[in-house]
Amino acid sequence: MPPAQRHPTMADVAERAGVSTSTVSRTLRGLSNVSPDIRARVEQAARELDFAVSRHAASLVTGRTGVVAVLVPTLTSWFMGSALTSLAPLLRAAGMEMNVYVIPDLTERTAFFEHLPARRNADALLVFSFDLTEEESTRLDDLGMPVIYVSQHVQGRPSVYVDDVAGACNATRHLINLGHRRIAFVETVGASGFSFSSHERLLGYQQALIEAGITLDDELVVATPVGDKRGVVEALGKLLSLHEPPTAVFAEQDEVAASLIGALRTMRIKVPERMSVLGFDDQPLADWLDLSTVAQSPSDIGREAGELALKLVNEPTTDSKRHVILPTHVIPRSTTAPVPMLQDEPEAPGTAPDD
């Protein structure tokens, strides 16, 4: 029986292509610092030798794993699904794999930060929508790899996010420009990892009111648990029980705005004739409901985060404190309208009703 044939190595590819082993490694991992001519020679040599890259072997040569780790609080949200859907192919095109860590509760969060599995298994870490403690942030700083914060901005650390304050401010201005002065804000509580955006959107709402000379009224800010229909109804009940109820409601998420519209219609309160409703995100359901909202693009956020991660991995001189801020814009639809006239205007003196 003939002896087993030796598998080709990276050194064999380098000898055939007439380049160094490190050049073969850079080429086959898809890095950009290889000329087109050399890339073609290396790829041809690899095909002729039927050589396949071993990620483990490559990591021994380069000190890299070819993996980008992603830390998320959930996989069920529209935002997270859209962001990861755009991130994954970007990493694949660069020869990188994506390893997702889902941390939905305090127990798993504690375990993650205690063991930090990404330390041994990744070249970079993307942290999506987590409000980290100072101790947790310090632990991530000690990983010895780029850590990029996504959908949040962290001082002195690379971040990719939308300007939630500006988005909420513009949304509130939209309602003010329609004549509304009693504008409520409905925030969410209990959302795993997302309270950062909630706080920023509340700040934007308050900023627009102050700019317009409208006194802040704490009674107009109510909260509801995420995905809790009863909580939305109770929050709406608080607003409608005020001595001077609002004429418009700004919900920090489209799902909350959709629940508000459903509750208002159940109460026979017409939207927008009696109450304007505006959301934030521009999820598909916003288009279906013709909901006025603030649009952001999680797909763009995912791509920008991936590109920043690749730059920080492949080009160590890249600004390690860079912030990428993406825009939002208000999309007016049929759920916002000028402030309603709650009472008929008084008749002019001396006029008689029509026969």
| Confidence (pLDDT) at 196 | 62
CATH topology for the 10-62 domain: 434 Repressor (Amino-terminal Domain) (1.10.260)
| Confidence (pLDDT) at 194 | 54
- Identical fold, 10-62 and 67-162+299-327: no
Given the structure tokens 């002729």, which residue do they identify?
A: 48
Which sign, positive or negative, has the C-alpha torsion 250, 234, 76, 149?
positive
Q: How is residue 45 written in tokens?
A: 């040599």
Mean of pLDDT over the chain:
86
Q: Which sequence spans correspond to the domains of the chain?
A: 10-62, 67-162+299-327, 164-295
| Confidence (pLDDT) at 168 | 98
Q: What is the pLDDT of residues 285-320, one digit of tens each?
A: 999 999 999 999 999 999 999 999 999 998 877 777
In the predicted model, is pLDDT for residue 272 greater than 80? Answer: yes
DSSP string, 81-137: HHHHHHHHHHHHHTT-EEEEEE--SHHHHHHHHHH-THHHH-SEEEEES----HHHH
| Confidence (pLDDT) at 60 | 44
For 260, residues 6+ apart whose C-beta sits below 8 A from its C-beta are: 186, 232, 236, 249, 251, 277
Helix H or strand E segment including 198: helix 195-211
Using a cut of 0.85, tell me whether the model's pTM lies above it: no
Check residue 340 and report its DSSP letter.
P
User: Under CATH, which architecture does the 164-295 domain have?
Assistant: 3-Layer(aba) Sandwich (3.40)
| Confidence (pLDDT) at 61 | 47
Q: What is the pLDDT of residues 198-215, one digit of tens each?
A: 889 999 999 999 999 999
**Which parts of the chain are beta strand (E)?**
67-72, 97-102, 124-128, 147-150, 159-162, 183-189, 221-225, 248-251, 276-281, 292-295, 323-326, 329-331
**281: closest CA among 74, 80, 76?**
80
Distance CA 237, CA 266 (A): 12
Q: How is residue 46 written in tokens?
A: 């690899």
In the chain, pLDDT over 70 holds for what percent of residues? 87
CA distances from 223 to 1, 87, 163, 173, 291 (A): 76, 32, 22, 21, 20
In the predicted model, is pLDDT for residue 2 greater than 70? Answer: no
Distance CA 140, CA 134 (A): 10
Residue 268 — left, alpha, or beta (φ > 0 → left; ψ -120 to 50 → alpha)? left
| Confidence (pLDDT) at 3 | 45
Q: How confident is the model at residue 63 (pLDDT cuts 50, 70, 90)?
A: low
Is 75 in a helix, a strand, or coil? coil
- CATH superfamily assigned to domain 67-162+299-327: Response regulator (3.40.50.2300)
Name residue 29's amino acid.
R
CB contact burial 36-72 (16+ within 10 A = b; e otherwise): eebbebbbebbeebebebeeeebeeeeebbbbbbbbb
**83: closest CA among 97, 66, 106, 100?**
100
Distance CA 86, CA 302 (A): 6
Distance CA 152, CA 319 (A): 18
| Confidence (pLDDT) at 260 | 97
Q: How is residue 19 written in tokens?
A: 């380049």
307 and 87 Cβ atoms separated by less than 8 Å: no
Name residue 211's amino acid.
E
Q: How confident is the model at residue 35 (pLDDT cuts 50, 70, 90)?
A: confident
Distance CA 293, CA 333 (A): 8
| Confidence (pLDDT) at 195 | 58
In the predicted model, is pLDDT for residue 343 greater than 60? Answer: no
71 and 130 Cβ atoms separated by less than 8 Å: yes
Mean pLDDT for 15-35 is: 79
Q: How confident is the model at residue 56 (pLDDT cuts 50, 70, 90)?
A: very low
Q: What is the pLDDT of residues 79-110, one digit of tens each?
A: 999 999 999 999 999 989 999 999 888 788 88
| Confidence (pLDDT) at 171 | 98
Q: How confident is the model at residue 266 (pLDDT cuts 50, 70, 90)?
A: very high
| Confidence (pLDDT) at 5 | 54
Q: What is the pLDDT of residues 118-166, one digit of tens each?
A: 776 889 999 998 878 888 888 898 888 899 999 988 888 999 999 999 9
In the predicted model, is pLDDT for residue 341 greater than 90? Answer: no
| Confidence (pLDDT) at 221 | 98
**276: closest CA among 253, 246, 241?**
246
